[in-house]
Amino acid sequence: MKPGNVIIRHDGAVKVLDFGLAKIAAPVAASSISPDNSPTLTMDAATQFGVILGTAGYMAPEQALGKRIDKRADIWSFGVVLHEMITGERLFKGETVAETLVALLKEAPNLDGVPVKVRRLLTRCLEKNPQQRLRDISVVWELLDSEAAAQAPSHGKPWLAAACALLALTVVASTYLWLRTPAPEVRSAQFHIDAPEGTEFTANVGWAPVSPDGRYIVLAAGDPAAGRDAYQLWIRPLDSLTARPLQGSEGASRAFWSPDSKSVAFFVAGKLKRSDITGGSPQTLCEASFIRLRSSGAWSRDGTILFNSAEGIFRVAATGGVPQLILKDSGTTHIQFLPDGKRFLYHGEVAKPGIYSASLDNPDARVMILATDTQASYVPAREGKNGYLLWTREQTLFAQSFDPSALRLEGDAIPIAEDLVRLRGTAAFWISDAGVLCYRTGESSGGAARLIWLGRDGKRLGEAAKEDQYQSFSLSPDGSRLALAKADSSRNSDIWALEFGRGILTRLTFDPSFKSVPLWSPDGRQIVYQSTRDGVSRLYKKDAGGGGKEELLTSAPEQLYAMDWSRDGRFLAFDRSGAATRSDLWALPMEGDRKPFPVLQTPFTTRGTKFSPDGKWIVYESDESGQFEIYVRGFPSASGQWQVSNQGGANQFWRGDGKELYYLPPGRDKVMAVGITVEAGSIKAETPRELFSVSSPIQSGASNFGVTADGQRFLIREGTERARVSPPLTVVTNWHELLKKR
């Protein structure tokens, strides 16, 4: 209670309004707050630093100290207001809020100017110790002392009546002026946020979820030249010009917020972790080695976390535990809890691409909300605004009214932003409950590149393919052709074949999905590649001349990436992300029953298998030592193990005669060579030596580096200056105002 909440109507009736339900729309500087009318805030605004929950001169001492409060705090406020009505003076004074609070906490209430009749009442109402304060307002009038009133000066009652009349006139006048004053207009602001200095946002889409309270954005950014492991998470307050790295998030690229906006959960090194945004080491919640690049999560108010993988949606407690698979769907992405905390939305792709709803109690009974090939986000109703579902069609972001109880879209979809960046079923937009929208527009980053020939001494020999949106490539066995994964304007990618001699580029695939890592058969007649058309990376085979139908090679639910085809044509090596391990080496027989079998399964990440020319050995990379190194083992038994690199390495290749290996060191600014000798069934590797260095790091990726069979020419994917431009984020506050402009 405070005087501003006591209203006298024209008919003389007194109304007490508000009771702390008013809100502040934006932070107010502490220096500008008057102690006579400091703001009354509800709990959702109380996270602003330097503001007070309540009105300084009228709050109870326990409230000022941040302790638990009950109805006795209202009885204190009643006593303060009654004292002011009687005396015309504020009980606790100060030129600033701080001075007022000191007076409230330290000074005893001065009741000298109060008529004797109400002193006992005010004394009981204004006990600083709530245990000794009046407990129930219903007995307040019993504390009026009629005997004391007889001893009071005769002029007391007329003075009190005059004071109350003056207060009533003041309140009426103030109320009239308040009603005549128009409410302040709620404005929408827009501004841009760049990646932290020296970094770029991850991939084409980036990752930038906004905290539920709208105060922070968590950014995923890093140095693209240093590879994926150089990315990390950054916390950027919206009221700051700088972002700070989140401790322990190195290598993470996707994150989601806790409901109270105090913690961030993220995936890194095959684990799901959580970290307080104020700092400190992250806490591991569970093993999540079976996640994939598009994994995301949601965190409910009751402490339940959902996250998706190549198998489906898992459930785990926010305090940690063993994850439980609750919904099998290998195409799930972008999970979000609905307001009841039991039902959730997710993007599913296996049955039909779209937004589905399911519940924790019965996750298999799902309901389709909307057919779309990217995620959608629900924004709860707030401050008289409807709840909306935000989703995209092509590169346009729409908002459509959504009833979460009936799981029903209503009205028309309204476009609110255009030219959004998209990649692999993900659109670059994020929304918070507090009305903050964040999205990215413009050209895809990291795709535009040239394919350059370099000699064994590192000298530039010429351009193999003109600048385009290349994702990955591989050389044909005879070196006369190139298989390319190339993006188009719709942010999908297809497989193409380039003939060097004639300069003819032939498109081999046409469906709207992301395809990459093409691989030639030993005779050069076929190409194997991976596609995400079913929501998970699977392997397909297609005639290299463009004719005939493609063939699905595998139907495993995990992510699969083809790495090499043995020279005798018998085996296809591929990487497989499993539920028990992070990434393993597998082989698919290309004849007979074609039943895939594991070559090497470890608790570590093993990837990038390449067959030796005679088919008896494999070379691969593993992080078992703490960083990725190059190793050789026997095939198919995986017998023995010989480390080839000595200071880290990736993207390994055999020379055509099997007597030399090539790879890239961690900085990707050099090409290394290692002589290989086979003696008595054992591998002998020479000390790695640098062949040549490059002026700028070779772009990272599963297939952005190649070498001819004779080891004399090297093909690299060289990013252009345009490719290294990382479009900024656009941030919109009070995004509902965008609806009025359409």
DSSP string, 40-108: P--GGGTTSTT--SS-GGGS-HHHHTT----HHHHHHHHHHHHHHHHHSS-SS--SSHHHHHHHHHHSP
Residue with token string 């060579």: 673
User: What per-residue confidence (pLDDT) applies to 50?
Assistant: 38
From start to end of 502-623, where are the E strands? Answer: 504-507, 515-520, 526-531, 538-543, 551-552, 560-565, 571-576, 584-589, 597-600, 606-611, 617-622
User: CA-to-CA distance for 131 and 127, rounded, in angstroms?
Assistant: 8
460-497 as b/e: b if 16+ CB within 10 A: eeeebbeebbbbbbbbbbebebbbbbbbeeebbbbbbb
Helix (H) or strand (E) holding 163: helix 156-180
Beta strand 571-576 with 584-589 is antiparallel
3-180: CATH number: 1.10.510.10
CB 48 within 8 A of CB 39: no
User: What per-residue confidence (pLDDT) applies to 176?
Assistant: 43
User: Residue 22 corresponds to which tokens in the numbers above?
Assistant: 């008013």
For CATH 2.120.10.30, the residue range(s) in the chain are 448-719
User: What per-residue confidence (pLDDT) applies to 739?
Assistant: 86
For CATH 1.10.510.10, the residue range(s) in the chain are 3-180
Residue with token string 């190649």: 706
CB 307 within 8 A of CB 297: yes
Instruction: Give Cα 86 to chain centroid, integer Å.
Output: 56
User: CA-to-CA distance for 120 and 333, rounded, in angstroms?
Assistant: 66
CB 529 within 8 A of CB 518: yes
User: CA-to-CA distance for 601 and 411, rounded, in angstroms?
Assistant: 52
Q: Distance of CA 284 to CAs 33, 220, 248, 292, 299, Å?
A: 43, 19, 11, 18, 15
User: CA-to-CA distance for 47 and 52, rounded, in angstroms?
Assistant: 10
Closest CA to 269 of 629, 633, 624, 642: 624
User: CA-to-CA distance for 8 and 173, rounded, in angstroms?
Assistant: 10
The length of the chain in residues reads: 742
From start to end of 161-270, where are the E strands? Answer: 190-193, 200-201, 216-222, 232-237, 244-245, 255-257, 263-268
For CATH 2.130.10.10, the residue range(s) in the chain are 190-443+726-737
Give the dihedral sign, CA 622/623/624/625.
positive
| Separation of first and last alpha carbons in the chain | 42
User: Residue 178 corresponds to which tokens in the numbers above?
Assistant: 């308040």
The set of long-range contacts for 405-410, using a CB threshold of 8 Å and a minimum separation of 24, is 407/343, 407/357, 407/367, 407/369, 409/369, 409/370
Q: Based on the number of CB atoms within 10 Å of its own CB, is 265 exposed (0-12), middle (13-18) or buried (19 or more)?
A: buried
CA atoms within 13 A on the CB side of 548: 11
Q: Based on the number of CB atoms within 10 Å of its own CB, is 543 exposed (0-12), middle (13-18) or buried (19 or more)?
A: middle
Q: Which letter does DSSP use for residue 208 in this model?
A: -
The set of long-range contacts for 126-134, using a CB threshold of 8 Å and a minimum separation of 24, is 126/76, 126/79, 126/80, 126/83, 126/91, 128/61, 130/60, 130/62, 130/70, 130/72, 130/73, 130/76, 133/72, 133/75, 133/76, 134/72, 134/75
Helix (H) or strand (E) holding 337: strand 333-337
CB 463 within 8 A of CB 470: no
Closest CA to 75 of 4, 1, 129, 142: 1
* CATH fold of 190-443+726-737: Methylamine Dehydrogenase; Chain H (2.130.10)
Closest CA to 645 of 633, 629, 632, 661: 629
Phi, psi dihedral angles at 739 (to 5 degrees): -65, -30
CB 271 within 8 A of CB 288: yes
Q: Distance of CA 390 to CAs 319, 397, 414, 740, Å?
A: 30, 7, 9, 16
Cis peptide before 209 (omega within 30 of 0): no
User: CA-to-CA distance for 728 and 162, rounded, in angstroms?
Assistant: 64
- The three-point CA angle 719-722-723 to 5° equals 45
Which ranges of the chain have pLDDT less than 50? 20-33, 41-53, 147-156, 159, 162-163, 165-180, 204, 444-446, 579, 722-724
Closest CA to 738 of 307, 402, 398, 497: 398
Which residues fall within 8 angstroms of residue 680, CB to CB, at 6 or more apart? none
User: Residue 418 corresponds to which tokens in the numbers above?
Assistant: 């255009």
Closest CA to 416 of 455, 436, 390, 384: 390
User: CA-to-CA distance for 509 and 515, rounded, in angstroms?
Assistant: 9
The domain covering 448-719 belongs, at the CATH homologous superfamily level, to: TolB, C-terminal domain (2.120.10.30)
User: What per-residue confidence (pLDDT) applies to 23?
Assistant: 40
CB 339 within 8 A of CB 331: no
Give the type of residue at 589: P
User: Residue 359 corresponds to which tokens in the numbers above?
Assistant: 């519940």
Cβ atoms within 10 Å, residue 566: 21
CB 618 within 8 A of CB 612: yes
Supply the pTM of this predicted model: 0.54
User: What per-residue confidence (pLDDT) applies to 184?
Assistant: 54
